[in-house]
Chain A
Amino acid sequence: MKLFKFDKVYAHCDIPCGIYDPSPSRIAAETIVKMVTLIDGIKDEYRNSPSDVNVLNSITRYILVKEEHARICKNEILILWTDYFKEEDLKIVPDLHSKVWDTVKLISYNKQNVDLEKAKELLTKVNEIGDIFTKVKEERLKNG
């Protein structure tokens, strides 16, 4: 039981402040799955004609987009972790830290590898963090 409850006074630094959303991380994870699927689809063609500039161009673009969205995904997850979630949210989600840790490690794996199963696993984990975000937000609204 809390003996004292203090009103909050804000010292915001973000513009726009206090607006957080898990959607960018989900879109980035979906993009990673899509890029891995495209790389998988073109890899035989690349193996057979590695000097074909068009094949080389396509595969380079897919890798570039995968890399960029992995960076976005990691950044967005870390923003939620450091700025949105608070210590008291651990009461609602006790394993929050390990879930975030596993997710960002999986993002790194997806940067280093082309592995459709792991890309899909990443999307599942990112969606899970999105669900946690919604749950925490609902709890905060309930508690005022």
Chain B
Amino acid sequence: MIFFKIFKVEGTSMHPTIYNRNKILVSYIPYLFKNPKINDIIVAKHPYKNIYIVKRITKIEKGGYFIEGDYILSSDSKEFNMIPKKLILAKLLFIF
């Protein structure tokens, strides 16, 4: 079981919080015990592609979690709608 992981970010949709090619440390532990909250920056599985994505949770409804990039141009829930909790894997801890 992995508790922490470092990812390399590719893309600009989380500007100015996370820049292209930043590395992020994430933890898989928080969402084992608690539900994700609004404003959490999370790593999730893309609902239609076999990739991981990093976004911010902006809305929580019965249907799931609405996730968006911080930058105005972002491929996110505006495009693929809400995602279920099971796709949310880890919480951002640190950007470097």
Contacts and interface: CB of A to CB of B under 8 A. Distances in A.
Interface string A11-31: 111111100000000000000
Contacts of B12: 11, 13
A11 to B, nearest CB: 4
A7 interface: yes
Given A7-B5, A7-B7, A12 B52 contact: no
A13 B55 CA distance: 11
Contact of B52 (A10, A13, A17): A10
A15 B72 CA distance: 12
Chain A contact surface mostly: loop
A9 B13 CA distance: 12
Interface stretch (B16-24, B32-40, B58-66): B16-24
Contacts of B43: 9
Interface in B72-91: 73-75, 79
A14 B20 CA distance: 14
B54 interface: yes
Nearest to B5: A7
Given A6-B23, A17-B75, A11 B69 contact: yes
A47 B75 CA distance: 53
Interface of B: 5-14, 18, 20, 23-24, 43, 46, 51-55, 69, 71, 73-75, 79
The 7 closest A-B pairs by CB, nearest first: A11-B11, A9-B7, A13-B73, A13-B13, A6-B8, A11-B13, A11-B14
19 contacts: A6-B6, A6-B8, A7-B5, A8-B7, A8-B10, A8-B52, A9-B10, A9-B53, A9-B54, A10-B51, A10-B52, A11-B12, A11-B74, A12-B13, A12-B53, A13-B12, A13-B71, A14-B75, A17-B11
